[in-house]
Amino acid sequence: MNLPTSPAAERNKQPILEALLGVLGPQGTALEIASGTGEHVVWFAGAMPGWQWQPTEGDERLLPVIDARIRHNGLGNVQAPVLLDVTATPWPLAAHGFDAIFCANMLHISPWASCAALMDGAARHLRPGGRLITYGPYFDDEMPTAPSNLAFDADLKARNPAWGIRRLDAVAREAARAGLALLGRQGMPANNLLLVFGSAEP
């Protein structure tokens, strides 16, 4: 199979899977935002047969890549990828209630408005009790800033001034505005965090 790959996704897919298994139950429906090359969704779907996955991507050029990867892996629990830009409303999805929404490494490689859009969309599309799970680097006062993340942030801003590593408290504020509370955070390899959000209502 000669498809584009992401070395980072190959490195982090197993640690993320292990974190997801600790957060999610044995079955459900999951929406992936910004699926990229599709390496995450096929890895998770293969290891979580009780879950139905819906990959999505904002860059239409990646849809055939994701589709080919799903077919190559012969997975029956992954739907065909959908073109979905988080900042466009409504989200073009047939299903409205997902048990989980997963989004890795998008918030720092898109303008800040994508954070509010992700939170609003997740609040609309999560079932009661559902979880939004984000993964990536964040700046957070509770942990020392890794030099590698500072360098990554500078590189992102040089590529596009609207990009950059987001502050965890700012992301949590956008979530709260949309009605989602930060329920958990887990340190991940290479100075990344996995964040878990759920309904702020009791």
Ligand X SMILES: C[S@@+](CC[C@H](N)C(=O)[O-])C[C@H]1O[C@@H](n2cnc3c(N)ncnc32)[C@H](O)[C@@H]1O
Per CB under 6 A, 109 contacts ligand X: yes
Alpha-carbon distance of 63 to 83, in angstroms, equals 7
Which run of H or E residues covers position 159? helix 147-159
Distance CA 121, CA 95 (A): 13
- Closest to ligand X by CB, 116 vs 200, is 116
Judged by CB under 6 A, the residue of 104, 126, 133, 171 near ligand X is 104
Query: What is the closest distance, in whole angstroms, from the C-beta atom of residue 190 to ligand X in the complex?
Result: 12
Residue ranges of the alpha helices (H) in 24-112?
Answer: 39-47, 63-72
In the list 5, 73, 77, 87, the residue contacting ligand X (rule: CB under 6 A) is 87
Strand partners, 102: 32, 133
3-state secondary structure of 170: helix
Interacting stretch for ligand X, rule CB under 6 A, among 53-61, 66-74, 90-98, 188-196? Answer: 53-61
Provide the minimum distance between the beta carbon of 111 and ligand X in the complex, in angstroms, as a whole number: 8
Which residues of this chain interact with ligand X, rule CB under 6 A?
6, 9, 34-36, 40, 57-59, 62, 85-87, 104-106, 109-110, 114
